[in-house]
Structure 1
C-alpha cells in the first residue's frame, strides 16, 4: 500500500548546470495538455488499483519546477490531484519552488489547492556562485519570496543548499550557511554537488574545465554544516536534512523507510505492490501512451526479497535513527544479524556504526563515508 504520491512537472524556465532530472524548457511545450494527461494517468492508476491508495500520507510536486506553471495551470493541476488522489489522510503536501517564480497569485493557488509545505531551491547565497551553477534568482528574491510566503500563510518552508560547488571556498560556504540560518526556517536540506552524466557540468568536467573543491575541503564543509545546524537548534534526522521538532519531511521519510509510493508524470518513478517502475521520459511518448489508454511505464522490476533487504539497509542508514531491529524483524521475519552480523561487527569495530538494543546507525564518523558503509550491505 502506498504511503505517498510523487508528481513530476518537467518544465523549467532555466536549466541548471548540475541538473540531471527529466526536464524541458518551458517555452513552446504542450504544458496544458501535459497537465490533462497527468490527470488521466492518476485516474487510470487509482481506479485500477484503489487498494494502493487507501492511506496516502503525502503528496509531493517535483520537477523540473512546479512553480514554472502559471497560476491558472497550478489551479488546474491541483484540482486534478484533489479529484483523483484520496486526500483524507494527507498531512504533508509539498511543492518544490524557485525563489524568483513565486508570485502572490501562485502562492495563493498552491495554498488554496492544498499545498502546505514549500521546498525552495536556494543552493547558495553567493550570487557569483549562483550564476556559475545556472540559477537565475538573487538573494533579494529569496528574502522577498519567503516573507511573501509567510504572509500568504505558509509556515512549513524548507530551503535547499549545495556545497562542493565549482570554485567554492569555505568562507563562501560559511557565509551561505549564516544567511540561511538567519532566516530561522523550520527545515533545511544541504547536498554536496554530484557531477551527473548528461549535465552541463559533466561536459565541462570531461573537458577539464570544471574546478571542484578537494575531497578534504568538501568533508570540512560537511563538518561545518553539521556543527552550524546543531548550534542553531536544528536536529539532523538524515545525512543531508535538518529540522526543528515536528518539521521532518514525511515524504522523504517514506523513501528512507523503503515504503511504497506512486509516481506520476513523464520520467517519474514509483514503487507499488513490490514493483519499482519508471515512466517514459519524452513528453510525446508519455502523452501518446496515455491517450491510447495505456499506462506510461517504460520499465518495471519486481523487487526480490534480497534486494528489498539491501534497500532497507542502505536507505535506512541514511537516517540518524538508522535501521531499527523492530522494523526490520517485522518486515523480514528475521534478525538483522542473520544476514548482516559479520558486516555490522566489522563496521562497529571501525567506529562507523553504532549497534544497540534499538538497532544500528551511522556514527558521526560514518556519516562522512556513508556511501562506503552502504556498499558493505550489498551482499
Structure 2
C-alpha cells in the first residue's frame, strides 16, 4: 500500500556541482509533453494497482527543480495529479523550490493547486560558497521567496543547508546556521556533502582540484549543527532533519519507516507492491514509453524477506526514535533479537546504540558514525 507519491521533474535552469539526480537543462526540452506523459504514467500505475493508492498520505514534487516550470505548467501538473491520485487522505503536499525561481505567480499556482509545504534549496548563506557549488541565488532571493510564500499562505516552509563544502570554514558554517535560524522556520534539513559520480565535483576530485574539509572538521560542523538546532528549540527527528512540533516531514518518514511509495517521472525510483523499481532516465525515452500506456520501468526487484529486515534496521535507525521492537516484529513476524541480538549487544557495548523496552536507537555518538552502524545490519 503506497503511503506516499514521489514525482520527478528533471528540468533545471542551472546544474549544481554536487547533484547526481536525473536532470537536464530546461532550454529546448519537451516540457509540456513530459507533463502529459507523467499523467499517462500515473494513470497506468493506478489502473494496474487500483488498491495501492487509496491511502496516499503525501505527495512530493522533486527534481531537478519543480519551480523551473512556468506557472501555467505548474498549474497543469497539479491538475493532472489531482485527476489521477486519490487526494482524500493527503496530509502533506510538498514541492522543492529554488529561491530565485519562486515568483509570486508560481507560488500562487502551487498553493491553489494544493501544495501546502515548500522545501527550498538554500545550502549556504555565503555568496562565495554558493558560487563555488554552482548555485545562482542570493540571500536576498531567499528572504524575498520566504516573505512571498508567507503572503500567499504557506506556513510550512523548510530549507536545506549543506556543510563539508569545498573550502568551507567553521566560521562560514556557523554564520549560515545563525542566518538560517533567524528566519524562524518550522523545519530545517542539513546534509554533509557527498561527492557522487557523474557530477562536476567528482571530476574536480578525480583531478585533485577539490579541496574538502577534513573529516574531523566535518564532524565538528555536525556537532555545531546539533547544538544550534537544540538551542533554537528544534527537535532532531532524523540524522539530518530538525523540526518544530507538528512539522516533521511525513514524506521523509515514509522512507525511513521502510513503507511503500510510488515514484513517477524520468529516473524516478519507487517501492510498490513489494517491488523496488526505477524508471528510464532519458526524457524522450521516458515520454515515448509512458505515452504507449506502459509503465516506463527500466529495472525492478522483488524485495526478499531478508532484505526487508535489513532495510527496516538501517533505514529506521536514521530516525532519532530508532526502531521499535513491536513495529519490527509486526512487520517481520519474528523478534528483532532473533537475527540481530549479537550485533545489537556489541553496538550497545561500543556506545553507538542504546536500547530500552521500546526499541533501539543511535546514541549521540552513534549519529556521528551512522553509516558504520548501518553497515553492521547488512549481510
Check whether TM > 0.5: yes
Structure 2 partner of 1:377: 377
CA distance in 2, matches of 1:56, 1:293: 22
Structure 2 partner of 1:127: 127
Secondary structure at the aligned position of 2:289 is classed as: helix
CA distance in 1, matches of 2:226, 2:256: 20
CA distance in 1, matches of 2:291, 2:136: 35
Cα deviation code 1:197-232 (max 9, x no counterpart): 000000000000000000000000000000000000
1:291 Cα deviation from its structure 2 partner? 2.0
Structure 2 partner of 1:332: 332
CA distance in 1, matches of 2:277, 2:332: 22
Cα deviation code 1:284-343 (max 9, x no counterpart): 111111122211000000000000000000000000000001100100111110000000
Q: How many residues align?
A: 379
CA distance in 2, matches of 1:79, 1:145: 24
- Give the 5 Å matches for 1:351-362: 351-362=351-362
Quick check: 1:117 aligned with 2:124?
Answer: no
1:98 Cα deviation from its structure 2 partner? 0.2
1:352 Cα deviation from its structure 2 partner? 0.2
Root-mean-square deviation over aligned CA pairs: 0.4
Quick check: 1:315 aligned with 2:319?
Answer: no
1:105 Cα deviation from its structure 2 partner? 0.5
Quick check: 1:342 aligned with 2:347?
Answer: no
CA contact (8 A) 2:187 2:247 kept: yes
- Give the 5 Å matches for 1:1-379: 1-379=1-379
CA distance in 1, matches of 2:340, 2:24: 43
CA distance in 1, matches of 2:2, 2:20: 26
CA contact (8 A) 2:3 2:259 kept: yes
CA distance in 1, matches of 2:160, 2:261: 23
Secondary structure at the aligned position of 1:14 is classed as: coil
Cα deviation code 1:35-85 (max 9, x no counterpart): 000000011111221100010000000000000000000000000000000
CA distance in 2, matches of 1:294, 1:53: 18
CA contact (8 A) 2:41 2:293 kept: no
Q: Normalising by the residue count of structure 1, what TM-score does the alignment of the two structures yield?
A: 1.00
CA distance in 1, matches of 2:290, 2:98: 29
Q: Normalising by the residue count of structure 2, what TM-score does the alignment of the two structures yield?
A: 1.00
Bigger mean CA offset, 40-49 vs 335-344: 40-49
* Deviating 4+ runs (over 4 angstroms): none
CA distance in 1, matches of 2:217, 2:24: 34
Secondary structure at the aligned position of 1:100 is classed as: helix
CA distance in 1, matches of 2:345, 2:72: 57
Name structure 2 gaps, 5 residues minimum: none
Secondary structure at the aligned position of 1:53 is classed as: coil
Name structure 1 gaps, 5 residues minimum: none
CA distance in 2, matches of 1:73, 1:284: 18
CA distance in 1, matches of 2:55, 2:20: 31
